[in-house]
Amino acid sequence: MRGNYARTVQAAYDKRWIQPSGLSDRQLRVQVEVIIALNGSVQSARILKVSGNRALDQSIQALLDRVKKMPERPPSGSSVDDRTVVLNFNIK
């Protein structure tokens, strides 16, 4: 259950992420934590680990500020732990 929904959340964020141009270092990574409410809205979204690259880190913060709702709700009865998803973003 958690794995499938985590993939849904990652895909929703990946679809909305505007990657900064000119970055080619595939080693750069930003890690975030997202908590989804039972109604599908984003309850909390925060950066856990920055990449150290200002443009990449800012693009992820802008993404977190922009995404307010998931395309589908988490499974009914999901606990907060089940609705807490850690996402990783790196240059593709």
Domain of residue 71, CATH code: 3.30.1150.10
Which one, of 6, 71, 72, lies nearest residue 34 by Cα? 6
Q: How confident is the model at residue 92 (pLDDT cuts 50, 70, 90)?
A: confident
**C-alpha to C-alpha distance for 35 and 65, rounded to whole angstroms:** 13
Domain count for the chain: 1
Q: How confident is the model at residue 2 (pLDDT cuts 50, 70, 90)?
A: low
**pTM of the complete model:** 0.90
Span 40-91, pLDDT tens digits: 999 999 999 999 999 999 999 999 999 999 999 999 889 999 899 999 999 8
Q: Tokens at residue 25, please?
A: 């270092």
Query: Which residue range(s) make up the domain with 65?
Result: 2-90
Q: How confident is the model at residue 1 (pLDDT cuts 50, 70, 90)?
A: very low
User: 41 burial class (0-12, 13-18, 19+ CB within 10 angstroms)?
Assistant: exposed
